[in-house]
A and B are shown apart, each in its own frame.
Chain A
Amino acid sequence: GQQVMQIPQYQHVQEGEDFTTYCNSSTTLSNIQWYKQRPGGHPVFLIQLVKSGEVKKQKRLTFQFGEAKKNSSLHITATQTTDVGTYFCANSGAGSYQLTFGKGTKLSVIP
């Protein structure tokens, strides 16, 4: 996959506040995946986006893929302490299973 930059690296929010992490590429991406890794745990697949401008929702999580397919975002509404962890974006080349991960955004939620 293509190299992707994730920002911010860290984010501390008060419980109930919203949170957004961004994943950016200098080149067009075939797809973007998002994973969550809880402290001490392993990455868990959340979703894959493949279409330009695609928006998907999972309860309080909203995932977007940019129109140019060069960026993506994950937005969490009204964070809870269960949202704590590191969120990674990843992508693979067209027709490939080989994933390249961003460095992740570590979310802390202050109760």
Chain B
Amino acid sequence: EAQVTQNPRYLITVTGKKLTVTCSQNMNHEYMSWYRQDPGLGLRQIYYSMNVEVTDKGDVPEGYKVSRKEKRNFPLILESPSPNQTSLYFCASTRGSEQYFGPGTRLTVT
């Protein structure tokens, strides 16, 4: 089954404790991206990757890092999480014009 998976689905952490949200797709897509979704603000792109070892900033990259060492994986790294990064995060991979979203990771930073 073609899908995008994310882990963990839910995470509560404390300020400053480094964390990684994993994202994996099994569709051999080259383009992947990360979004955050906040009430009233919609979906905003954090980072995207055109291919292995090629990443670039989206609209709200501050406080986040990404890496793309393999085509299928695109982890999102929060080196020092802060409460304003409490949000719902979605990973997506793209074929042509169609984006396939993962199930989401709900992150709470206290």
CB pair A104–B101 under 8 Å, yes or no, is no
Which chain A positions have C-beta within 8 A of B98?
45, 48
Is the CB of B1 closer than 8 A to any CB of chain A? no
The dominant DSSP class at the B interface is strand
Give the interface residue-count category, chain B: 20 to 34
What total of A-B pairs shows CB separation below 8 Å?
A: 47
Q: From residue A27, how far is it (CB to closest CB) to chain B in Å?
A: 17
Alpha-carbon distance A38/B41, docked complex (angstroms): 17
CB pair B40–A43 under 8 Å, yes or no, is no
Q: From residue B89, how far is it (CB to closest CB) to chain A in Å?
A: 11
Of B18-26, B43-51, B62-70, B72-80, the one touching chain A: B43-51
A interface residues, tally (CB under 8 Å)? 20
A-B contact pairs, 17 of them (CB 8 A): A33-B97, A42-B90, A42-B101, A42-B103, A42-B104, A43-B90, A88-B43, A97-B33, A97-B48, A97-B50, A99-B99, A100-B59, A101-B35, A101-B44, A102-B42, A103-B42, A104-B42
